[in-house]
Chains A and B, each alone.
Chain A
């Protein structure tokens, strides 16, 4: 199985940068996803990493180090609408249909 850890909450100012870390312990690994979830809504896809390195998508970037079991999501030029929970999810390497999610990191953006 997987054990996925991410911080519970982070606060940052509008316009700033925030980095959300995710560590995982895995019996198999086949990709890491980041999702955004606004309160009361469904999660929506942000990024995917399966190889080591940085993936950039506009204001959002995600990094993966498989040897360290570590990923981060970088949110740049924070906007008030970025206030949400950010979920780290790992796909099992042995059973591709199995996903494990972290508990989520609540990001609060202040004016």
Chain B
């Protein structure tokens, strides 16, 4: 089944403890991106990647890192999480960005930082 898989679905951690949220897609998509979703603010883009080894900042990149060493994987790294990073995170991929190729979203990761 074609899908974007995020892990874990739920994560509770403490301030400062490094964590990684994994994202993998099996559709051979070139483009991948990360978003956080907070009440009243909608989805805000953290980072995106147009292809392997190419990553760029979105609107809210502070406190996050990403890497794209392989086409299928795009992990999100929080080196030193803080409570203001408590949020619902979505990974998304798209075949390519020409025309109307839509974003395919993973099921989300709900992160709580205490």
Contact = CB atoms under 8 A, between A and B. Distances in A.
Nearest to A85: B42
Interface residues of B, number: 26
B42 A87 contact: yes
A91 B97 contact: yes
B106 interface: yes
Given A42-B108, A43-B90, A97-B31, A103 B42 contact: yes
Nearest to B4: A42
Contacts of A97: 31, 33, 48-50, 56, 97
Interface residues of A, number: 25
A54 B44 CA distance: 27
A33 interface: yes
B103 A98 contact: no
A18 B101 CA distance: 26
Interface-central residue, B45, B49, B102, by most chain A CB under 10 Å? B102
A104 to B, nearest CB: 6
Interface string A92-108: 00011111111110000
Interface string A47-65: 0101000000000000000
A1 interface: yes
Given A42-B108, A43-B43, A91-B97, A33 B102 contact: yes
Contacts of A89: 43, 103
B2 interface: no
A101 B56 contact: no
A84 to B, nearest CB: 14
A4 B104 CA distance: 21
B97 A98 contact: no
Contact of B59 (A1, A33, A87, A102): A1
13 contacts: A1-B59, A42-B106, A42-B107, A42-B108, A45-B103, A48-B102, A50-B99, A87-B43, A97-B31, A97-B33, A97-B48, A99-B45, A103-B41
Interface of A: 1, 4, 31, 33, 35, 41-45, 48, 50, 87, 89, 91, 95-104
